[in-house]
Amino acid sequence: MPSLLLPPVPSRRKCPIFKPVGMAVRRQVGNHAHRDRFATVAVILLPSLHMLLCVVLAAREWRARWAPAYVNSAPPAGAPGRVPKIIHQMYKNAELPAKWRRVPDAWTALHPPSEYTYVLWTDDQLRGLIEREYPWLLSTYDAYPYATQRWDASRLAVLHKCAIMPPSLL
Question: Which tens digit of pLDDT belongs to each residue from 52-93?
Answer: 988 888 888 877 766 555 555 555 655 665 677 888 888 888
How many beta carbons lie within 10 A of that of residue 63, not counting itself?
7
**Greater confidence, 61 or 130?**
130
pLDDT band at 138 (very low <50, low <70, confident <90, very high): very high
Q: State how far the Cα of 168 lies from the Cα of 4, in Å rounded to an integer.
A: 94
Kindly report the pTM of this predicted structure: 0.49
pLDDT, position 145: 94
Predicted local distance difference test score (pLDDT) of residue 129: 92
pLDDT tens across 5-46, in order? 666 655 555 555 544 444 444 444 455 555 667 777 777 888
Q: Which amino acid is at 74?
A: A
Q: Name the residue with higher pLDDT: 121 or 40.
A: 121
Q: What is the mean pLDDT of the chain?
A: 75
CA–CA dist 122, 119 (Å, integer) = 10
Task: Give residue 27's pLDDT.
Answer: 44
Query: Which residues sit opposite 89 in a β-bridge?
Result: 120
On whether the CB atoms of residues 67 and 96 are closer than 8 A, the answer is: no
